[in-house]
Amino acid sequence: MKETGDNRKMVKTRFAPSPTGRMHVGNLRTALYAYLIAKHEGGNFMLRIEDTDQERFMEGALEIIYHTLDETGLKHDEGPDKDGGVGPYVQSERNTQGIYLKYAKQLIAQGDAYYCFCDKERLESLSANVGGKEIHMYDKHCLHLPKEEIEKNLAAGKPYVIRINMPTEGTTTFHDEIYGNITVENAELDDMILIKSDGFPTYNFANVVDDHLMGITHVVRGNEYLSSAPKYNRLYEAFGWEVPVYVHCPLITNEEHQKLSKRSGHSSYEDLIDQGFLTEAIVNFVALLGWSPVDDREIFTLAELVEAFDYHRISKSPAVFDMTKLKWMNGEYIKQMDDEAFFEKAFPYLKRVLHKEYDFRKIASMVKTRIETFPDIPELIDFFEQVPEYDVSMYTHKKMKTNQETSLEVLKEILPILEEQEDYSNDALFGLLSAYVKEKGCKNGYVMWPIRTAVSGKQMTPAGATEILEIIGKDETIARIKAAIEKLGH
């Protein structure tokens, strides 16, 4: 095991999602980096469900979390479904056990936290507008309540929250592995709420208590938590607990450099799957959103990422979600798929546009190296079903030295030859057309271009003329050539 600051401890990271919706790309990256850090060090990767915000809970979100971790291969060593001795792993269950209240009360006893009974109106009257921004700074009013009043309020069941008692002087310095040291004036730190009036802990409190109790050595999360991190350090200090290593990951933006949001249409893992991307490509791509290896290498399996991942190489600058790159990467993964697996995934897309009885396997193998995502398939092959409307100018090709007249002549000459031919295998057809080319004393393209155009109506096809003829067969070939002659004849 490598040195980790405290080399007696096994590295332990956690993924701590809130079950509030789809698996955002940022969440997936957090999970991946946490997994990679743990596995790179031979450590433990834990799953904790942070469901203390009951209002944001979404039905089905838990299934999404488990399903995504399972599909992407980010196997957790411990979690709600796999006891590792520090459970429960679901915060609402931990709350039922009184874990958070116990620690909040410890802080109250130490003078580091206090009950606050202020009502909404009073709290609202405290917000100040600083530079156009609403700032809510609690004024420590309840810190000074006499003991008897606190007890009276509690006995009367008056709603309360528990707040941290932040020092009003001095500074707090916080270290992040990526962003370095960050120092803030304590006077700027709000007496944040630890326990809410509904009895649940805030994220701010629960994450500190849990990370400590569950033995987390490295905290990996998005940089939206960076500004709160000094507050967490105050908590660690008040408890006398060792601060974990912090790894805050950079923001992910779209190509317009705005925060990746639902509106971009590809902000979650499910979105990307729905768009036909492969899990392996998504994982590989997400790994590079803010992290880069020592060399320029871009294609990594999960196991190779584990080997190469060094969190010190995570960047501070926002990572741009480059769709072009993801598509390219997906294409690379498609090329590596074995033929059977590829066919299975491609089949529904073939079926979408092809209703004739063609050899689907042959068509699939034609497109395998030519697509970036599966939804690219229909457009590439729809001509097999029917020749689309096309302009006769397509027969004019400078390099092939063809134009409408030469094409018409070739098609007219080739038609009877094709009518006579029985064997429509690619090899036989190629031999047949090559003989014609030879006899005519022209270039291959001079003959192949008009034929391919006639049977496909497309500038670009995933296969050459004879391969297309083999797929569509004799009757269809003859019909298409005749239609082209007619089209050119006018």
- Outline where DSSP puts E strands in 28-159: 44-47, 113-116, 128-130, 133-135
Q: Least distance to ligand GLU from the beta carbon of 323, Å?
A: 24
Among 13, 35, 38, 50, binds ligand GLU (CB under 6 A): 50
Mask: binding to ligand GLU, 159-198, rule CB under 6 A, as x and -?
----------------------------------------
Tokens at residue 477, please?
A: 């070939």
Q: Least distance to ligand GLU from the beta carbon of 17, Å?
A: 5
CA separation for the pair 472, 300 (Å, rounded): 39
Measured from the CB atom, is 205 or 449 closer to ligand GLU?
Answer: 205
Least Cα distance to 489 among 404, 414, 424 occurs for 404
Tokens at residue 281, please?
A: 């490509």
Measured from the CB atom, is 276 or 290 closer to ligand GLU?
Answer: 290
Catalytic member of 102, 262, 325, 438? 262
Show contacts of 239-243: CB within 8 Å, 24+ apart. Answer: 239/103, 239/106, 239/107, 239/208, 239/212, 241/208, 241/212, 242/6, 242/212, 243/175
Q: Least distance to ligand GLU from the beta carbon of 285, Å?
A: 21
Binders in 210-249 for ligand GLU, by CB under 6 A = 221
Among 44, 68, 207, 453, binds ligand GLU (CB under 6 A): 207
Tokens at residue 452, please?
A: 């391919």
Least Cα distance to 455 among 424, 478, 426 occurs for 478
Burial code (b: 16+ CB inside 10 Å, e: under 16) for 125-160 equals eeeeeeeeeeeeebeeebeebeeeebeebeeeeeeb
Binders in 1-30 for ligand GLU, by CB under 6 A = 16-18
Q: Is 49 in the site for ligand GLU (CB under 6 A)?
A: no
Q: Least distance to ligand GLU from the beta carbon of 308, Å?
A: 23
Q: Least distance to ligand GLU from the beta carbon of 395, Å?
A: 59
Q: Least distance to ligand GLU from the beta carbon of 21, Å?
A: 10
CA separation for the pair 334, 343 (Å, rounded): 11
Measured from the CB atom, is 229 or 387 closer to ligand GLU?
Answer: 229
Measured from the CB atom, is 18 or 72 closer to ligand GLU?
Answer: 18
Measured from the CB atom, is 18 or 253 closer to ligand GLU?
Answer: 18
Q: Least distance to ligand GLU from the beta carbon of 28, Å?
A: 12
Measured from the CB atom, is 87 or 378 closer to ligand GLU?
Answer: 87
Q: Is 480 in the site for ligand GLU (CB under 6 A)?
A: no
CA separation for the pair 34, 48 (Å, rounded): 12
CA separation for the pair 15, 207 (Å, rounded): 11
User: What DSSP character marks residue 130?
Assistant: E
Alpha-carbon distances of 240 from 182, 209, 225, 237, 243, rounded to whole Å: 20, 12, 22, 5, 9
Contact, 407 vs 394, CB < 8 A? no
Q: Is 450 in the site for ligand GLU (CB under 6 A)?
A: no
Measured from the CB atom, is 22 or 487 closer to ligand GLU?
Answer: 22
CA separation for the pair 109, 323 (Å, rounded): 54
262 is catalytic: yes
Interface contacts to ligand GLU, rule CB under 6 A: 16-18, 50, 207, 221
Residues marked as catalytic: 262
